[in-house]
A = this chain, B = another copy of it.
Amino acid sequence: MRFGSDNLHGVAPELLTALEASSKGFHGAYETDGFAQAIEASLSSIFEREVKVFIVATGTAANCLGLSVLIGPYDVVFCHGESHLFVDECAGLEAMSGGARLLGLPGAMGKIDAERLAREIRRFDPRHVHSPQRGAVTVSLPSEFGTLYRRDELEKIGEVAREAQIGFHMDGARFANAVVASGQTPSALTWRCGVDVLTFGVTKNGGLMGEVVVFFDPQKARDFAFRRKRFGHLLSKSWVAGAQLQAYLENDLWRKLAETANRANATLAQALRERDMGLVWPPEVNVSFVLMPRALFAHLRQMGLMAYEWTTYSLQPNAPIVPDDLCVVRLFCGFSTTDQHIGELIEAVDAYQGPVATIGEAERLWQQIDAAL
């Protein structure tokens, strides 16, 4: 019962087929393999705009390198305080930008609020040589809490960014899930809102490895190629990443994989709701955050559940928001989650005798968190 993350899954069979098909014979190295241009053409079509793209090995590299060309080495990057960039990249942004500052903003449901952003930007005076300068804002779509920015929310942030003359980056590690869930076009969620560069996720959505950095204005890529190389992110057998990526983009496979994951999560969330179990943030994509008694979590783990207790900053026990006997558990569905997988989990839940944490309790928790922000 593996619900810890969507990166625990295997690889979509279409990608392996493509890999195998390319694995004999020879290919140009360092993106002279033919796939690179095909992928750029595919993505230009998907985004309805001429884009410039680069493949790198990880999301950390994609985010940090993508941001590094939008900013100067003493600039501030504004992110959410519980974003992957802030929490899970071990100060990668500082390292790969020449010493930029990463400023984590609070925000309900894991999303940056445009007005709060504007306020934070004003802390740094562009005419003042003592001050770190205004560099870029980055949002995660979906957020690390599985929530989606509405289009108008993104547009407001894009407006703030434009007025402040800062870059607008998007961490789309699960971008496919967001596209599918929102029903919006990829362009509507990105460059039409002012996004300059996107980390287009692959690995979490059935991919083998790698993520794509997408620039919506090729000029803005600047010297990305050199920066990528010097931090060790130019793959020699680029055809490996390329072949899988081409298959990933063909026939809307990337959408279908995400749809499967989202639907599985919808099924799961529905089943949990039917049991009056509280979900903390609305399950909009492929993840559910479930409020449950610790005893239930222990029971589920004993029955084979692999999942993480969610203990992010918003829920720090210092502010006694989550009562001791409860915890928030993060359940991820992926491209290979089946009804059977969901069924096993629900059976394990039903085998638990004690009380659950109700929808009402979750709502109250949710409000307390927001109020504390």
Question: CB within 8 Å of B: which residues of A?
Answer: 2, 4-5, 7-11, 13, 16, 19-20, 22-30, 56-62, 64-65, 72-76, 87-92, 94-96, 98-104, 115, 118-119, 122-123, 129-133, 203-204, 207-209, 223, 225-227, 229-237, 240-241, 306, 313, 316, 318-319, 336
Contacts and interface: CB of A to CB of B under 8 A. Distances in A.
A26 B2 contact: yes
21 contacts: A2-B26, A4-B29, A8-B27, A16-B20, A57-B233, A60-B234, A61-B233, A72-B223, A73-B91, A87-B123, A87-B131, A89-B229, A90-B130, A99-B99, A99-B230, A101-B102, A122-B316, A123-B316, A203-B236, A209-B209, A231-B231
B11 A236 contact: no
A13 B234 CA distance: 24
Given A8-B29, A10-B26, A115-B318, A129 B90 contact: yes
A115 B236 CA distance: 35
A75 B94 CA distance: 11
A372 to B, nearest CB: 12
Contacts of A4: 29
A119 B235 contact: no
A90 B10 contact: no
A101 B5 CA distance: 27
B235 A209 contact: yes
Given A16-B19, A122-B316, A236 B58 contact: yes
